[in-house]
Structure 1
């Protein structure tokens, strides 16, 4: 189903998210005596908590914490990250009380490439869209992971990102926060590489999620442009150091050695999403002569969404597909480019009410 466009509730500044590195959230001043401390986290499920939660905003809704994982013990690093550690950002609903009986659903948000979970943009987007909503939001570290268990990680050692996020992080969150630890209490969404990850995870583990969303995700690994984007992230130092090889994540990207690329492509395997809420958002790049790189990237994402929509339609799976074109009818400041904050904020503002219609919540 295609949505009608509607204006953004709040105009947002245009910030680079995903392909443009955003600014890491600085720690807020220490909580006053009148303000509760953030929750304490216990280790478990193969994760060791090496940095206890610390508030990341003045409102004391959002905190970050750090873990090490035996499934990804040596992630590649973006500027500001600590070797061997994974930062996770969590936003709580207003009025959250760890001592109370009330439990909340959880939205897992997956960031794009050349992005971090704990950025000003991700924090703003989440807090604005979930204000007054009884929902916990979790953004895990993903660097250049493509949210997959890598085929050829080489000297980096294990890079089992899917196992880390689904089999370790989700149970850790459920054990330490007042969540609804069931399928009807979880949704997942992502931007760009994270949109791929959201569909990838939902298709592999439909028992975990009741709603999946993609904001300009690269959903079709059979698309040669999409394969080039994955390879670029593997080889580009701006996506993390050290760099990796072109076959590190999904194996060789050329026929007849590309079997993993084909089997892991979300667009062609949507049948696993039957019974789940599905939403996709994308622009068309707008004026291709303005910011042409981000325009072309968004246009490519639009093509992969259209392919995915075709497979969903053929499978008889209901879905929401919002193609906002050049963005002029979607949000103030959105011109249909990739990684525009105004576009992403409008996406999230629209997505949150959709999932709350389906998720079990207070």
Structure 2
């Protein structure tokens, strides 16, 4: 084999020098540029304080550009409180479009993150807002404001503050025809109560396994259990498996059994407030004229045995008034989904929410702003 010619050796030398120079230049540029920048945080809409709500700086949790949680303070409640928001995928890409809004109310012992256990809430046809409802807020302005919970005006927080705050900061369709409220367990009571007492805001409501008949001793007992922090069946199965063990850690500090709605005992009209806010009372059901009402319940376990009775009582009352409504009693869950055992849990609520969101897409599509 002949040795390379002098010309070949010269070309090889030139190539080696060019490669070395390129390597040096790359190294120099790397040093100049410094370490690689971290991945950018997804962009989310900006929020302006208002309606009595003040955002807590540095407390926003960004899960994605369509899933984030802001934290606010308000004089209506002690402490800091989260509001989780799910946006449609096209929200940013279609800046001229406005969207219907679904408010989701979590159950007792739960948090705003329970909504992640019902994936259908993250819809491409509506904005979903999940406000903190407290471990035992019961979506009420409490009679007692001097308990260990401090200020506890949950209804005022949601109705007078969160709803207009969301309308001011997001591209909503701000009318009742395009606003729905849906809740599970304690939130099922809250949803029906809000639709009854604020039908000017909500044109659609769904209660899932809700404590919707305060005329029933078992339902009043559920409220008392939360006030007294008596953890048990109501607490253990009413929160999302997405939040850890699937078992809530309690209802917060002990408060007086009369703290929220006053005395629960029907003696000398002592239970006046319970009767005034009872969703199953004929006078309150009459407030639902023109509201699209849906009820879901199973009938298995120590809780949904009673929520089935309560839901049927509400349905019967609406029928007597001649108001159209929909009751989905999935019994043991076999007709709803393989994940559902007919009990008080997200194995049933997630597919029920999916069914309801399908219903809402049609309902929103046939209403006008």
What TM-score, normalized to structure 2?
0.79
The aligned runs of 1:116-265 (5 Å cut-off) are 116-119=111-114, 122-125=115-118, 127-131=119-123, 133-143=124-134, 144-155=136-147, 156-236=149-229, 238-255=249-266, 256=268, 257-265=270-278
Match of 1:241, SS state, is coil
> Do the aligned partners of 1:98 and 1:178 also contact (CA within 8 Å) in 2?
no
- Structure 1 residue runs of 5 or longer lacking an equivalent are 1-29, 75-83, 286-294
Match of 2:165, SS state, is helix
Match of 1:43, SS state, is coil
- Structure 2 residue runs of 5 or longer lacking an equivalent are 1-36, 231-248
The CA deviation string for residues 286-318 of structure 1, in whole angstroms up to 9 with x for no partner, is xxxxxxxxx111111111101111111111110
Aligned mates of 1:193, 1:241 — CA distance in 2: 15
By how many angstroms is 1:99 displaced? 7.8
The aligned runs of 1:77-88 (5 Å cut-off) are 84-88=79-83
Residue number in structure 2 paired with 1:300: 306
Residue number in structure 2 paired with 1:291: none
Match of 1:56, SS state, is strand
Residue number in structure 1 paired with 2:49: 43
Residue number in structure 2 paired with 1:274: 289
Q: CA RMSD in A?
A: 2.0
Aligned mates of 1:99, 1:334 — CA distance in 2: 37
Aligned mates of 1:129, 1:347 — CA distance in 2: 11
By how many angstroms is 1:353 displaced? 1.8
> Do the aligned partners of 2:102 and 2:181 also contact (CA within 8 Å) in 1?
yes
By how many angstroms is 1:239 displaced? 3.5
Matched, 1:315 2:326: no
> Do the aligned partners of 2:108 and 2:251 also contact (CA within 8 Å) in 1?
no
> Do the aligned partners of 1:105 and 1:179 also contact (CA within 8 Å) in 2?
yes
By how many angstroms is 1:357 displaced? 2.0
Residue number in structure 2 paired with 1:5: none
> Do the aligned partners of 2:107 and 2:185 also contact (CA within 8 Å) in 1?
yes
The aligned runs of 1:24-103 (5 Å cut-off) are 32-33=39-40, 36-51=42-57, 53-57=60-64, 60-72=65-77, 74=78, 84-97=79-92, 100-103=95-98
The CA deviation string for residues 104-154 of structure 1, in whole angstroms up to 9 with x for no partner, is 0100000000111123xx2241x43544x3200011111211101111232
Matched, 1:329 2:335: yes
> Do the aligned partners of 1:38 and 1:54 also contact (CA within 8 Å) in 2?
no
Aligned mates of 1:252, 1:356 — CA distance in 2: 41
Residue number in structure 2 paired with 1:23: none
> Do the aligned partners of 2:87 and 2:122 also contact (CA within 8 Å) in 1?
no
Highest RCO, 1 vs 2 (Cα 8 Å, sep ≥ 6): 1
Aligned mates of 1:309, 1:99 — CA distance in 2: 40
Matched residue count: 306
By how many angstroms is 1:247 displaced? 0.2
> Do the aligned partners of 2:121 and 2:128 also contact (CA within 8 Å) in 1?
no
> Which protein is bigger by CA-based radius of gyration?
2
Which aligned segments of 4 or more residues in structure 1 are displaced greater than 6 angstroms?
A: none
